[in-house]
Structure 1
């Protein structure tokens, strides 16, 4: 049993009131008929005539054309024939008795609902009473032997009975089906006229035969006529019903073409109830792995939630929701009726077609929902850090740019840049898994401590940023920053160990110009100020900014400089210290500024690295360096070219592909390119840049470690970065002649390089004594002003062609006589990819 809604209860009450009224009127009509018969002393008719009227009533009521409206069944019957014939032959009370008894007999045999049976019998009593009263008023006198009824009286009486029948029938059926009387009557009027006309013709024919006294054999044609009319009428109704059903099914299928699964299910359930005249319809999706049931009636959705289904009895019809090829099954469709209903062959086919269309719509909507979920997931992944779930650098920049586009709406905005102290020790001591656990916990605490609207992001490694918004006053930024950093003070447990996280934070208020790049630069400066001072936070102050006014001005001119090719490349040769021959060259970027003149990297590189122009700048330098290498190669000097690369470039996942694309465009073999890395800048980002370096190394690009010996942990760098060359910092070269410690560092570096099969290059060779000292310490290559200052590619080509002492390609005299030193060929270390120098 299923729970009835308040609408159902209201409908039942209205039906009972209407039917009760009809029954009361029928009792009154019957009483009046009996009183009239008594008053006129009407004779008792022949029992055979009464039995005949009763039998014909039973047969006429059994032969009917059934129409199901809503969950109710109704139809056209031929009971009007025995009624009108009976009114011509016997008094009204006897017609009521015979016809009523016949209808009651059929209802009992069909085990019909008592309320409906009472309504049908009472309605027919009213119809008979109205027709009989009309005939009496028109002078018709019922008689078996001498019936006196004109055709006019019969026709008028039948029309009156038709009117009374409609007045009683349509209000009740309208309440039961919850439709308007006008709509029901309009839809049925055409069929009614034809059927009523056929019935009236049959009645007139029968009565004329009886009145004229013709042979009763003529009545044998009546069943044939009734049967033909019945079959014609049934076929016509079924054709109309099928046409309407297909049109309704097509409209429903169009409505199902939605990509919203909720809409598909709600439309399918509600339209299914209307399409099959069911009380309620259920869609059960448990077969597809979804615990969801949608239930609807003709008035709309009644339930949408988890199962189980509500209907599963003899009063319901269940069909599987599957595609025509049965490749996909979504669940089950359940039709529930108030009474037991058997679908016709056409309705079964229609149900199967509807179920297939609904299943296809569910599959399409589910597929679209999955695609939308994947799209949303991809969008989420593109904006969030995979380890911590926080926003990433890209999302932070986009949110900040939104502020700079309409800054007056959100009050004061500031950026808090956070860097964890000594985080590398966690990775080195406990491993990367423990380090990841620490980063996740830090991210969780920062996110919890953030105020509504603030954006917490992980920039990479152990660096976090918080975009502080809706600040009432600038001073509130410091208070909010201290609160967030204090959330990290509580110890956390990692692999059974208690760890205290220390961090330094730099605070910067949004600048009037420069956008997010300038805001990030200022927060970075403040963070390092906090680290140097040993304080948890520091706020950016312009007086403490080491960047001068000229560099700040340059920051706004970078885009123009890249677009107008103001960045050029000079080259400094790298020389074999023993022979004086050029063995490679290093590319050094310069900026030909229209106002400040020739600028070196020391004057603009930091600004470039902190701007959004770094990828374009690095690509321009690489392009010019490889182009020069091609010119030298065509002239007979196949020299490897070394290019400095910023660690920030290696954080860009597109950088390796850019390098390989440039190599291919200039037809330069990858092993002729050397990328120089600054050891002091990469020590804290080894894990982050390692993937990019491995990709370049596998492609054949060679790597060099610049400024070797100045970092805090050179051996750690060598264990993480697969380099081919070491470049000794110029500070050690300058002190070679006067400091035994510097000489010892150089000798140990050379020994280390030999053991690792690496080449060693001395940077900043300024004099012949330095050259001799380096040679004696085992260093075989160097660069510096002793050999040549940085120059353009064309000037370097000219110097190579002129040579030194008549030797093209040499820039200095040899330290030994020709043939006195035998150079061993470079050998490749097994499995390492490194070569000896």
Structure 2
């Protein structure tokens, strides 16, 4: 009987029905032959002949070629030959009885089980009876002394025997393996045909020897024929099975090449059940932090859930899941066969290969999942405020830009900026920890009050923003903003005190093709207008935008300012933080307006960039900077000067030639000029200005990144343009003593600069504690009001000559004693090399 695996109740019921049908047919055939013998009496064969026939059938059945095929056994038996020979010697009922007894003996000795034994006995009785029916139909009379069977009758009997055997055997195999009857019938059909011919030849040889005067020793040829056929079939079947087994293993390995752990586990368990003919395959995953057990048959997954590891069962084979010998163990694979099974050496090797592939696939899937988790955490951290959990400024900008560019008709988009009134008093009175509690509560209320689809963000400090989306009309923006501010009216309990939070909001509608920065500017203007007016909210109106009106007025006066030299340049010293010595200066443009007084660059630079006066303005600033350098050099102070460059100037291909021409005219080395680039340069701008910057840098002009750390493209700028200097924004310097985040930014910038052999300058140094904190973090140079405010060229020279404590060129006392600092040489070459600051901490 086939070694079938009863995988579910439906399969079990179908197998029982088939086996019962075979038993009924076998009993019917036996009863018919007993009746036939009763009506056609025949001499009873001798006990010796019957015993020999039983033993011959048992031997032929026992020594058969058995090849494991999934959950069945493809049996290539030789029991047909002794049955056919026996039919030529004794009556059919005795042959059927001997065949049944022989098969039953073998099944009992091998402990095949009652169900399998009954099936095998019934099948042999049925097939022997069918072959005997052919002999009876042709009138063949059995005889021990003179057996004679025509070749045609023998062929017909063998054919009927084989057909009945396959008709009984194949449906059971198909049911047990859950394959089609046609697929089971076609399996190894070539081997079956050759076996059929071999048995026919061996049977004819035996009957010829028994019925003729030939030497009885010729009967020894029959076992040789059987042995040769046995060896051929054995080798052929094993080769075929090994080939198919490796093919299944290769397909399983391909399926395991996945990054989803669930997919890997489900594929591994189902494929294990298929490849190793197991009733059930189980994987107990013990690594990855969470235990997991997956059970499956060859068709589908049964369970996938928490660990369900129990005691080992007698019918299962267990193997550790390791990638290689001595490798890390990720779990256990258990194969359940529904009975005692001993794996061959080949199957054990195949099992080790399979488990190694499964282990590798599990580890790869776990590593991929861990990378995805880390990436998700990093992405979340990059887009959210660590204090409140709201979206941060960067995420707000990205979402606002996407919403503003979306042309789908799902309503208007507006931006609401909310600023808390008198929040500084909370920090000053209750401390920063209490202030953080207030900010978290405000964030929670705003987030809960925001309708679905709106994005609440914290811009920094006590400033929040809400991206209002899906607005049917502009008027609804004010209604929604008022509702959100109303959520802040209930008092907040902080450290046992009840405080009331007041806020003002500014609203700007995203209309036209304006940028997100312009939208932010307008909302910010509206918010400050609401604060001044004492209103809770206010919508931006262009007529009330005084900054735009002033910009319009300035645009009309630019040409006059250039021609009448109203643009002047002040200089702020850059000082070695350790020694207090002035090492360079930064040029700061001013507009000496006849009506509005001195205007800083922030107030008019955007207007200049939008006008056609940018080249003239840049020439004026550079000219005055070079004249100042000449005067200082004549007085004995040969200092480099940093000049800010507008990104628009870098789009002019004639800009490098104009700069180098002025340097040559004033006899200033290119290495003494530092061009400060805005850190907000974008990648698209870099593509355009790279050639201009490369030309300047190759000529020896040094490059610096201004306000480093405040934009979104710092590393992109550094990777595309080899600069010489980084300038830390004053925002980080102002809080370097009190904020661990600001200190971390400074320290990271300094470490980055050291690795890239760049210098670092801190902007906005206002106090001695800030200077010492920067020095402790490794920053060696700075500028700010602690040392000097921006001065005209003449006053700058006078300040250098006076110095501090009677030391010319020194503006502050040293932070270290003599000998505690190693003085490094300062490179003053005209080439494009990067300079280092004169002092480094020992």
1: CA distance between counterparts of 2:591 and 2:811? 39
1: CA distance between counterparts of 2:746 and 2:101? 101
Q: What is the aligned partner in structure 1 of residue 477 from structure 2?
A: 477
Instruction: Call closer, same or farther: CA 1:657–1:24 in 2, change over 3 Å.
Output: closer
2: CA distance between counterparts of 1:192 and 1:314? 35
2: CA distance between counterparts of 1:619 and 1:656? 25
Structure 1 position 461 matched with structure 2 position 461:
yes
Tell me if structure 2 keeps the 8 A contact 1:568–1:621. Answer: no
Matched residue count: 713
Structure 1 position 392 matched with structure 2 position 381:
no
Unmatched runs of 5 consecutive residues or more in structure 1: 559-566, 576-581, 593-597, 612-617, 707-713, 728-757, 764-781, 789-799, 801-808
Structure 1 position 15 matched with structure 2 position 15:
yes
1: CA distance between counterparts of 2:536 and 2:736? 20
Tell me if structure 2 keeps the 8 A contact 1:139–1:149. Answer: no
Q: Deviations over 1:708-759 (max 9, x none)?
A: xxxxxx99999999998876xxxxxxxxxxxxxxxxxxxxxxxxxxxxxx55
2: CA distance between counterparts of 1:150 and 1:622? 123
Q: Deviations over 1:44-76 (max 9, x none)?
A: 111211111112122222212223333334522
2: CA distance between counterparts of 1:118 and 1:448? 74
Q: What is the aligned partner in structure 1 of residue 193 from structure 2?
A: 193
Q: Deviations over 1:498-555 (max 9, x none)?
A: 4443322212221323221221111101211222233432222333322234737999
Tell me if structure 2 keeps the 8 A contact 1:100–1:124. Answer: yes
Q: Deviations over 1:375-407 (max 9, x none)?
A: 333333322223332222121111111122124
1:212-361 to structure 2, matched below 5 A, reads: 212-309=212-309, 312-361=312-361
1: CA distance between counterparts of 2:212 and 2:339? 48
Q: What is the aligned partner in structure 2 of residue 794 from structure 1?
A: none
After TM superposition, give the deviation of residue 693 of structure 1 in Å: 7.2
2: CA distance between counterparts of 1:302 and 1:547? 70
Q: What is the aligned partner in structure 2 of residue 437 from structure 1?
A: 437
Instruction: Call closer, same or farther: CA 1:121–1:486 in 2, change over 3 Å.
Output: same
SS in 2 for 1:467: strand
Instruction: Call closer, same or farther: CA 1:230–1:700 in 2, change over 3 Å.
Output: closer
Q: What is the aligned partner in structure 2 of residue 170 from structure 1?
A: 170
2: CA distance between counterparts of 1:608 and 1:407? 33
**Structural RMSD (CA):** 4.8
1: CA distance between counterparts of 2:465 and 2:731? 25
Q: TM-score, normalization: structure 2?
A: 0.74
SS in 1 for 2:187: helix
After TM superposition, give the deviation of residue 179 of structure 1 in Å: 0.7
SS in 2 for 1:468: strand
Q: What is the aligned partner in structure 2 of residue 27 from structure 1?
A: 27
Indicate the larger mover: 37-46 or 402-411.
Answer: 402-411
1: CA distance between counterparts of 2:417 and 2:187? 75
Indicate the larger mover: 543-552 or 22-31.
Answer: 543-552
After TM superposition, give the deviation of residue 639 of structure 1 in Å: 5.0
1:493-508 to structure 2, matched below 5 A, reads: 493-508=493-508
1: CA distance between counterparts of 2:718 and 2:217? 106
Instruction: Call closer, same or farther: CA 1:151–1:684 in 2, change over 3 Å.
Output: closer
Indicate the larger mover: 257-266 or 153-162.
Answer: 257-266
After TM superposition, give the deviation of residue 10 of structure 1 in Å: 1.5
Structure 1 position 210 matched with structure 2 position 244:
no
Q: What is the aligned partner in structure 1 of residue 569 from structure 2?
A: 571
1:544-623 to structure 2, matched below 5 A, reads: 544-549=544-549, 551=551, 570-572=568-570, 587-589=587-589, 601=601, 603-604=603-604
Tell me if structure 2 keeps the 8 A contact 1:569–1:624. Answer: no
Structure 1 position 367 matched with structure 2 position 358:
no
1:51-70 to structure 2, matched below 5 A, reads: 51-70=51-70
Unmatched runs of 5 consecutive residues or more in structure 2: 559-564, 574-581, 593-597, 611-616, 645-675, 681-705, 752-758, 776-780, 818-842
After TM superposition, give the deviation of residue 666 of structure 1 in Å: 9.6
2: CA distance between counterparts of 1:421 and 1:515? 28
2: CA distance between counterparts of 1:703 and 1:717? 11
Rg (Cα) greater in structure: 1
2: CA distance between counterparts of 1:719 and 1:251? 67
Tell me if structure 1 keeps the 8 A contact 2:629–2:641. Answer: no
Q: Deviations over 1:111-131 (max 9, x none)?
A: 323222222222222211111
Tell me if structure 1 keeps the 8 A contact 2:709–2:729. Answer: no
After TM superposition, give the deviation of residue 476 of structure 1 in Å: 2.1
After TM superposition, give the deviation of residue 80 of structure 1 in Å: 1.4
Instruction: Call closer, same or farther: CA 1:150–1:276 in 2, change over 3 Å.
Output: same
Structure 1 position 43 matched with structure 2 position 31:
no
Q: What is the aligned partner in structure 2 of residue 525 from structure 1?
A: 525
Structure 1 position 413 matched with structure 2 position 391:
no
SS in 1 for 2:25: helix
2: CA distance between counterparts of 1:158 and 1:622? 112
2: CA distance between counterparts of 1:517 and 1:6? 70
Q: Deviations over 1:577-609 (max 9, x none)?
A: xxxxx99977343799xxxxx997475358899
Q: What is the aligned partner in structure 2 of residue 98 from structure 1?
A: 98
Tell me if structure 2 keeps the 8 A contact 1:458–1:464. Answer: yes
Tell me if structure 2 keeps the 8 A contact 1:311–1:334. Answer: no
2: CA distance between counterparts of 1:351 and 1:362? 16
SS in 2 for 1:587: strand
Q: Deviations over 1:288-314 (max 9, x none)?
A: 543122222121222222221478411
2: CA distance between counterparts of 1:599 and 1:217? 127
Tell me if structure 1 keeps the 8 A contact 2:710–2:729. Answer: no
2: CA distance between counterparts of 1:121 and 1:760? 111
Tell me if structure 1 keeps the 8 A contact 2:734–2:765. Answer: no
Instruction: Call closer, same or farther: CA 1:634–1:337 in 2, change over 3 Å.
Output: farther
Tell me if structure 1 keeps the 8 A contact 2:572–2:588. Answer: no
1: CA distance between counterparts of 2:461 and 2:38? 110
Instruction: Call closer, same or farther: CA 1:619–1:570 in 2, change over 3 Å.
Output: closer
After TM superposition, give the deviation of residue 464 of structure 1 in Å: 1.3
Indicate the larger mover: 419-428 or 636-645.
Answer: 636-645
After TM superposition, give the deviation of residue 16 of structure 1 in Å: 1.7
Instruction: Call closer, same or farther: CA 1:75–1:601 in 2, change over 3 Å.
Output: same
Tell me if structure 2 keeps the 8 A contact 1:569–1:625. Answer: no
SS in 2 for 1:538: strand
Indicate the larger mover: 54-63 or 716-725.
Answer: 716-725
